[in-house]
Amino acid sequence: MAGDSFKSFANRVMHALRMGRLGEKDVGTVKRLLLKTEKKNLILSRAILSTLSEGSQSEEDVKRFAHLLDLANRRIAEEKEPFAGEERKELEAMFGRHSLSAKAARNFTLRLDELLAMELRSQMEKEPVVPKKHETHVRHEEKEKLLH
Q: Which tens digit of pLDDT belongs to each residue from 59-81?
A: 888 889 999 999 999 999 999 99
Q: Which of 54, 78, 73, 68 is nearest to 116 (CA)?
A: 73
Amino acid of residue 102: A
Terminal Cα distance for the chain, rounded: 48
In terms of pTM, does the model score above 0.85?
A: no
Over residues 96-143, the pLDDT tens digits come to 989 888 899 989 988 899 889 989 988 888 876 655 554 444 555 555
Distance CA 1, CA 19 (A): 23
Q: For 76-103, how does the pLDDT look when each residue is reduced to its tens digit (9 = 90+)?
A: 999 999 999 899 999 999 999 898 888 9
Q: How far apart are CA 48 and CA 59, in angstroms?
A: 14
Distant-in-sequence, close-in-space partners of 79: CB < 8 Å, separation ≥ 6: none
CB 94 within 8 A of CB 64: yes
Cα 93 to Cα 10: distance, rounded to the nearest angstrom: 33
